[in-house]
Amino acid sequence: MSIRENIAEIRRRIDEAARETGRTGADITLVGASKMNDAAACQEAIAAGIDVLGENRVQEMVAKLAENAYDGAPLHFIGHLQRNKVKYLVGRVDLIESIDSLALLQEVQRLAEKRGVTQDILLEVSAAGEESKGGLPMTEVYSVAEAALGLPNVRVRGLMTIPPVCADPRESRPYFEKVRALSVDINEKLFHNELEYLSMGMSGDFEEAIRAGATMVRVGTAIFGARNYGAAT
């Protein structure tokens, strides 16, 4: 199937899952995770109506920006982020989805202030406390979100999470529900119910994420096909 056909099928499944929660597919933002796909594939996805493109690797993103890969769609950074790479993102991407420490948040503020921009971000949450993955511990999210309110050049737009790898997508549901509950709590207590995004779910579990309350899903292989990691440099 083509990228266009894949996107149409993903949107059908998104709409079906969303309707179970009283919403429709129009309420869910579809991020095409375009890691290891070239500029032509990105442009094909944009032509097919993808909402957003999302990159995991800073170096790859910078190279594809130079090729105008993302022209016509918003760009999110969705991968693990090191402090020394923040300079490549601030003011260049519409949303950084993977802020997982106070130090990283402060570096975004420093550069955004220097460049005279306001950078939109999501706070990444570790729902299972896996040390091998990024994400703020559940117990620290509130304090970091509160700290963000004092940073004039950073705007928190919501939360993001990646659950543990599960054989059955339904096993991811409790993790999604935990982060959804946390999102509701901090939204009410800190952000006047103005948070817009709850980014949860990928190719294998996005329907369960939507059933648990996701408003944004990040789908890669189900749109672009399997990635050839053996060819990666």
Q: What is the mean pLDDT of residues 30-46?
A: 97
Return the residue matching tokens 């869910």: 28
3-state secondary structure of 218: strand
Q: Are 77 and 54 in contact (CB under 8 A)?
A: yes
Q: Are 211 and 17 in contact (CB under 8 A)?
A: yes
pLDDT top residue among 78 and 228: 78
Given a cut of 60, whether residue 215 has pLDDT beyond it is: yes
Residue 188 has a pLDDT of 97
SS percent in the chain: helix, strand, coil, step 5: 45, 20, 35
Return the residue matching tokens 């294998």: 204
- Calculate Rg over the CA atoms of the chain: 17
3-state secondary structure of 73: coil
Q: 119 CB contacts (<8 Å, ≥6 apart)? A: 89, 90, 91, 96, 108, 111, 112, 153, 154, 155
Confidence of residue 231 (pLDDT cuts 50, 70, 90): very low
Q: What is the mean pLDDT of residues 121-146?
A: 90
Confidence of residue 165 (pLDDT cuts 50, 70, 90): confident
Q: Are 157 and 196 in contact (CB under 8 A)?
A: yes
Q: Across all residues in the chain, what is the average pLDDT?
A: 95
Tens of pLDDT, residues 74-84: 999 999 999 99
Say how far apart CA 52 and CA 216 lie, in whole Å: 10
Burial of 62 (0-12, 13-18, 19+ CB in 10 A): middle
Copy the structure tokens of residue 189.
């207590």
pTM: 0.95
User: Phi-psi bin for 32: left (phi > 0), alpha (psi -120 to 50), beta?
Assistant: beta
Given a cut of 60, whether residue 214 has pLDDT beyond it is: yes
Q: What is the mean pLDDT of residues 55-62?
A: 98
Q: Are 98 and 160 in contact (CB under 8 A)?
A: yes
3-state secondary structure of 128: coil
Q: What is the mean pLDDT of residues 62-77?
A: 98
Say how far apart CA 151 and CA 170 lie, in whole Å: 38
Residue 131 has a pLDDT of 66
Q: Are 136 and 144 in contact (CB under 8 A)?
A: yes
Given a cut of 90, whether residue 54 has pLDDT beyond it is: yes
Confidence of residue 232 (pLDDT cuts 50, 70, 90): very low
